[in-house]
Structure 1
C-alpha cells in the first residue's frame, strides 16, 4: 500500500486548468445575468473534486442561486433548478447545473448529503457570497443525519453494482462510482460525521486491507491515463469487497442516529440571504 503522501502526489492531471476556471466563471456570470439570479455558491462536484479525474473527465459545476426577494412572493412557485445542456468547450465538457436557495435549504432540512459534499469541495469557483455560504457549517451540520446519509451512499453503491457488475467487464469510472459511496458509508459508520469528499482521505479506512488498497491504487493510476469509459476485466478482489461490505453496512446503518434539531432557524437564514 502506498503512503498517503504518495497518493496525494499521484495525480498528474490538473483538477481545473486556468483556462477552464476562467471559462466556467464567465459561464456562471452569463447564467446569473440571463436568469436574473445571484449565484451564491459554485463548486466542482465530480471526479475532479473527488481527486481522481481522467484525461477526458467533465467539469461538473454545481451552484446555488437566489432570485430577488419579490420572486418568492408569487402565488405560483417558479422553477427551482437551472439545468443546462452539456457544453463541449475548448477546455473540455462543461456540465453546469444549479439549485435555488429555497430548494437547497429545504433539502438540507431533510439531511440531503449532497449539500455537505458541495460545501467541502476542494474546488470552489468565484460567486457572490461563496465564502459566507461555505462558512455556515455551524448552522448546517446539526441537520446532518448519519442514518440518512449512510443509506444514501449505500443506495448509490448498490444501484451502480446492480447495473454494472452483470458482465465480465466494467468501465474504470464505474468502479469508483461504487467504491467512493461505499467508503463514505464506512466513514459514517465509524465516525458518524460528514465523510471527506476526496477519495484519498476515505482510503485511510482500509489501512488493514493492503490487497484492496493495492487494487484501488492500480485503478487510480490507470484512470489518470485512460479514457474513463474504457472497459476493463472485472477485479474479483474488488467485487468481493464491494459485495461483502455492502451487505454488512446495510445492517450496520440501521443502528445509526438521526438528526433532531430546531428547523426554524433556516427561515431566518433564507431571509438574510434575500436581504430581508
Structure 2
C-alpha cells in the first residue's frame, strides 16, 4: 500500500468537536485530483511521546485488513504560517513540523449510543469493531471520555481516530525488550467502557459463540509482512515511530493464540 501524498490548496476551517483541533482543507493528490480532507494537527509532544501520526496510519491499515470501513488516508505537510488565521500563536508554536495524517472528509455525523441498533449496523459489525479495539488495546472508542470515534450515515459507518492504539509502544517503552502478549491483552481493562459493550452483553449467551468467528479468521490470515512497506514509507517521509519489533512480536503472539483470544472476547461480553 502506497501512501497518498497530498499538497495543500487552502485551509477551510477548524472542525468542531475535535480535541486536536483538526482542519478541513482542500488538497490535491499526486494524480492532480482535488478533494476535501481532514488533517490531524498533532503537537510535537504527541508525536514524541505517542507517535500519534504513525498510529493513525497503522490503525487505518489494520482496519482495512479486518474489512472495517475507514476513510482513504494520506499525509500532507505545509508551513506553520498557513495556520495563522486558525490557531493562536502559542498553539502554532507547539505544532509538529513533520508530515501530518489526513483522511478524506466524510460529512456524516457521529454515532451515539441510542442509534447503535440502526438496521444497517449488524451485530457482527459491532462485534468486529469491539474485537478490533480489544486487540489494538484502544481506549478511545468509549473509554473515560465516552468518545464514539465512529461516524455514521443512513447506510454505513466509518472508524476514525486511532492515535491511542498500541499504548505499549509509547515513550519508547518496549522496543528491544521482550513482549508478553498475554499480559498486554489480558490486562486491557477498558473493554467494559467500549461503546458497544452494553449492546454485545445484551445478546443471548447461546448467540455469542460465533460472533467473533470472522474476526478470528481474519486474524489467522493476517500477513504481518504486509506492514513492512508501511514502516519503510514512514521512514522515507520522516514520520516518527517506535516499537516496530514489539508490535510484530505482539501480533505474532495474537496469531498463535486464537482460541484464547476468542474465548476471552466472549468472556468480556458475557
Higher helix share: 1
Question: Whose radius of gyration is greater, 1 or 2?
Answer: 1
Where relative contact order (Cα < 8 A, 6+ residues apart) is larger, the structure is 1
TM-score, length of structure 1 as denominator length:
0.28
TM-score, length of structure 2 as denominator length:
0.28
